[in-house]
Amino acid sequence: MSKQFDVIVIGAGPGGYIAAIRAAQLGFNVACIDEWKNAAGGAAPGGTCTNVGCIPSKALLQSSEHFEHANLHFADHGISTGKVEMDVAKMIARKDAVVKQNNDGILYLFKKNKVTFFHGRGSFVKAVEGGYEIKVAGKEEEVLTGKQIVVATGSNARALPGVPFDEELNILSNDGALRLGKAPKKLALIGAGVIGLEMGSVWRRLGTEVIVLEGMDKFLPAVDEQIAKEAKKAFDKQGLKIELGVKIGEVKSGKKGVSIAYTNAKGEAQALEADKLIISIGRTANTAGLNAEAVGLALDERGCIVVDDDCKTSLPGVWAVGDVVRGPMLAHKAEEEAVAVAERIAGQHGHVNFGTIPWVIYTSPEIAWVGRTEQQLKEQGVKYKAGSFPFLANGRARALGDTTGMVKFLADAETDEILGVHMVGPMVSELISEAVVAMEFKASSEDIARICHAHPSLSEATKEAALAVDKRTLNF
């Protein structure tokens, strides 16, 4: 006899585990299924984000940034260190420990909120009266029955056609990139997006020659053009080599490394030899093994689960959130959808505003933004005002020794409502939250300009950029 639940969540990434916890808080009997395993074969909830994405990459970025500061910047502060070396194995071990802390934290939260966790692969069996049968294929096979099903199975790294990931030898996704045992002498990356820039930054800091090949003619086209140019200038200065407008040809992997044939932006044939290749050209929805066809769950041409604005699928009582549906593949977007779905199941009115979802690239300088870019406003014919303020004129940034970048505001020309805020510089991943709050409450740039900000703080650059919309900065 199958075990009965009000809500069954398939997947325990940021969307899945949050959906399970919120549903349990609302009084439902909840099960959550996830197959991710740690090195010992135990449960490792948290999905790509916790295991091979957001969390481990930030751990490596932090370690490599400490190493670069010790090598290049400590002397500016009067700190003498002698020769500084990086123990890559220890850096990777610390990253693994951080990941495990997060895995264990999610398991604790399940226990605290009385969510029943099943370790294995969840898939549809059939529709039954009042719900669906879900099979759990783990150490022992189990069948569960749920009235409401939430699919949160995430996404997988997209491979180049004909170039499969080997993850251990030469050709790596984000997974293999986080498990390198030593710093390669020469590292190639295909794709100058978030993963490419963050992983490239980690290994460049450790002494690796890094070459990034990007098919787009523009650097970070989704980012405000002025901010992207400022970031590119900083990366060029650091020695991160980025080639734009390339077309990838044959990729060969061998005992000595990998060779990549490509044509550059001028149409000239090029050949690149590297020790390792990281491919970061996007991600695809993870629906393999879900057995969607058994119940008639509709997928689109890209393999994503088809949902409406409320994350309802083509089937009654079945919902889907996160990377497996339309919209940006961001952990915090998945979390917001997860909470909204749990509340909708409870008859409440969950809400997600795609227009105020922040984006962050955790390089140095960091890049963060929310709302529309200047190029989007021009394309849409929206009349706007712009104001910016450089960290070069910010006292806290000078004290930190990091004055790269700026904060930029875009506001409606008539109403002064904030339409977008764009940042590149130190710790802007934290500063962007003020802009998100302001936009969610439909604030004007004048509202931010009139709010008292602590001195000295990086957040003063946000206030000054808001003042700049009306051409009245006080410190620049």
- In the DSSP assignment, the letter for residue 157 is E
Which entry of 66, 77, 332, 455 is annotated as an active-site residue? Answer: 455
What burial letters (b/e) apply to 155-179, b meaning 16+ CB within 10 Å?
Answer: bbbeebeebebeeeebbbbbbbbbe
Kindly report the backbone phi and psi dihedral angles of residue 168, in degrees, each rounded to the nearest multiple of 5, phi listed first: -115, -35
Q: Which residues contact 90 (CB under 8 A, 6 or more apart)?
A: none
| Catalytic residue list contains 455 | yes
Amino acid in position 189:
L
Which own/partner pairs from 183-187 qualify as long-range (CB within 8 Å, at least 24 positions apart)? 183/86, 183/88, 183/207, 183/208, 184/208, 184/274, 184/275, 184/276, 185/209, 185/275, 186/211, 186/257, 186/273, 186/274, 186/275, 187/211, 187/274, 187/275, 187/276, 187/277, 187/278
The Cα diameter of the chain in Å comes to 72
**How many Cβ atoms are within 10 Å of 187's Cβ, its own excluded?**
26
Q: Which residues contact 288 (CB under 8 A, 6 or more apart)?
A: none
In whole angstroms, what is the distance from residue 308 CA to residue 298 CA?
12
Q: Indicate the SS3 state at residue 439.
A: helix
What burial letters (b/e) apply to 437-458, b meaning 16+ CB within 10 Å?
Answer: ebbeeebbbeebbeeebeeeeb
Which own/partner pairs from 440-446 qualify as long-range (CB within 8 Å, at least 24 positions apart)? 440/353, 440/356, 442/417, 443/417, 443/418, 444/411, 444/415, 444/416, 444/417, 444/418, 445/385, 445/387, 445/409, 445/411, 445/416, 445/418, 445/469, 445/470, 446/416, 446/470
List active site positions.
455
